[in-house]
Structure 1
Amino acid sequence: MAKADHRLNGRIRAPEVRVIDDAGQQLGVLPTEQALEIARDRGLDLVEVAPTAQPPVTRILDYGKFKYEQAKKESEGRKKQSRVVLREVKMKPNIGQHDMDFKLRTAAKLLRAGDKVKLTVVFRGREITHPEIGRGRIRTMMERLEAEESLPLTVEKDVGMEGRFMSVIVAEDKVRAAALLREQAEQAEATG
């Protein structure tokens, strides 16, 4: 329920409400007027927290503080959510060795940061008549990421042509990566 949807004090329409006081104790089912009186005596608000219940559930609390805590919880929840970003690494089918190494390091860095990576081969002119070269470049890049960079990959979208672009979307396989880390730690422990 959104913050703005809470009815409070005189806006509560039900004749009877279940009341929970500011200490968290249930006061039982009371007439709304009596519950409002108790809230006023304590200098607090009567807030309807579960309007669909029979009778509706209300709490006696400081509404300003309640709204602040709700906003804080929401922002904490947003902080804990991980955002996965799709990043793209482009190359040509006739890419040089050094350029390939550079693109490999870039892709590995992005994958380690938790992003998905779209490996794209851009064909120009007559290069498009040899899609097998592009497929080979993508396969080589994926094999090198797994072998040289120790990044287990999972393919999100298979290799496919989109106009003059051939691409594949890959992400780090978290399960295999965790198993690989455990295995490396065990080997280091055994040797050291």
Structure 2
Amino acid sequence: MRLKNNQYKKRYKINSEILAKVVRLVGKNLPPKIYPLEQALKKAKDLKLDLVEINPKVTPIVCKAMNYSKFLYNLKKKKKKEKKHLIFTKEMRLTSQTSRHDLYFKIEKAKQILKSNKKVKFSIFFKGRSIRYKYLGKQMLLKCIKRLSQITKVEIPPRMEEKKMFIVLIPNFKK
């Protein structure tokens, strides 16, 4: 956990790390105004806050008087929240030679995964000379789409990348 804080510190300069001579100071109880660095540091210190460099690309650079540790905490919290909303993808691997029974078995397994609100990716990897039979792989993927059409939407239609053909299906449930 300590390393993550250091990553954020590298991104934002605080207090004595700021090298500019003049800064635009903003904050909750402060009107935006241009100050010499020493005066801005003094104002932040009087408010018992840190001076954080927000935008170093403009002239004069923008600094904000804020509680830096609370700012880092909110950044971490925001990242965790973003991770929660991700929908995970499960991959079902096939070959152009997969038998009908095995295909239907994988389709049934995909139904269960889709019902748990996850994406499903069907992929066919072509080994050696089997690359000649791309049309068989495409037919198999289209069969998967057809069998699952009532409960899914196609996010990515059959697509070829190097020696791999795949589709991505997403759940189509009304909550």
| Alignment of structure 1 residues 57-96 onto 2, 5 Å | 57-89=62-94, 92=97, 95=99
Q: Does 1:105 align with 2:111?
A: no
SS at match of 2:57: coil
Instruction: Quickly say closer, same or farther: Cα 1:102–1:85, change in 2 above 3 A.
Output: closer
Preserved CA contact (<8 Å) 1:14 1:32: yes
| Alignment of structure 1 residues 43-192 onto 2, 5 Å | 43-89=48-94, 92=97, 95=99, 98-110=101-113, 113-119=118-124, 135=136, 139=139, 142-143=142-143, 145-147=145-147, 150=150, 151=152, 153=154, 154-157=157-160, 168-172=165-169
SS at match of 1:13: coil
Distance 1:9 1:101 in 2: 63
Structure 1's unaligned 5+ residue stretches are 123-127, 183-192
Distance 1:144 1:29 in 2: 63
Of 103-112 and 33-42, the range deviating more from structure 2: 103-112
Question: Offset of 1:139 from its aligned partner?
Answer: 2.5
Of 100-109 and 32-41, the range deviating more from structure 2: 100-109
Q: How many residues align?
A: 160
Distance 1:67 1:12 in 2: 18
With the length of structure 1 as denominator, give the TM-score of the two structures: 0.62
Question: Offset of 1:46 from its aligned partner?
Answer: 0.9
2:10 corresponding residue in structure 1: 4
Distance 1:30 1:121 in 2: 65
Instruction: Quickly say closer, same or farther: Cα 1:118–1:40, change in 2 above 3 A.
Output: same
Q: Does 1:28 align with 2:25?
A: no
Identity of aligned residues (%): 22
Please give the root-mean-square deviation of Cα atoms over the aligned residues, in Å: 3.8
Preserved CA contact (<8 Å) 2:93 2:122: yes
User: For 1:99-118, what per-residue CA distance to the aligned partner results, in whole angstroms no more than 9, with x for missing partners?
Assistant: 44323312444566312111
Larger radius of gyration, structure 1 or 2? 1
Instruction: Quickly say closer, same or farther: Cα 1:3–1:87, change in 2 above 3 A.
Output: farther
With the length of structure 2 as denominator, give the TM-score of the two structures: 0.67
Preserved CA contact (<8 Å) 1:156 1:171: no
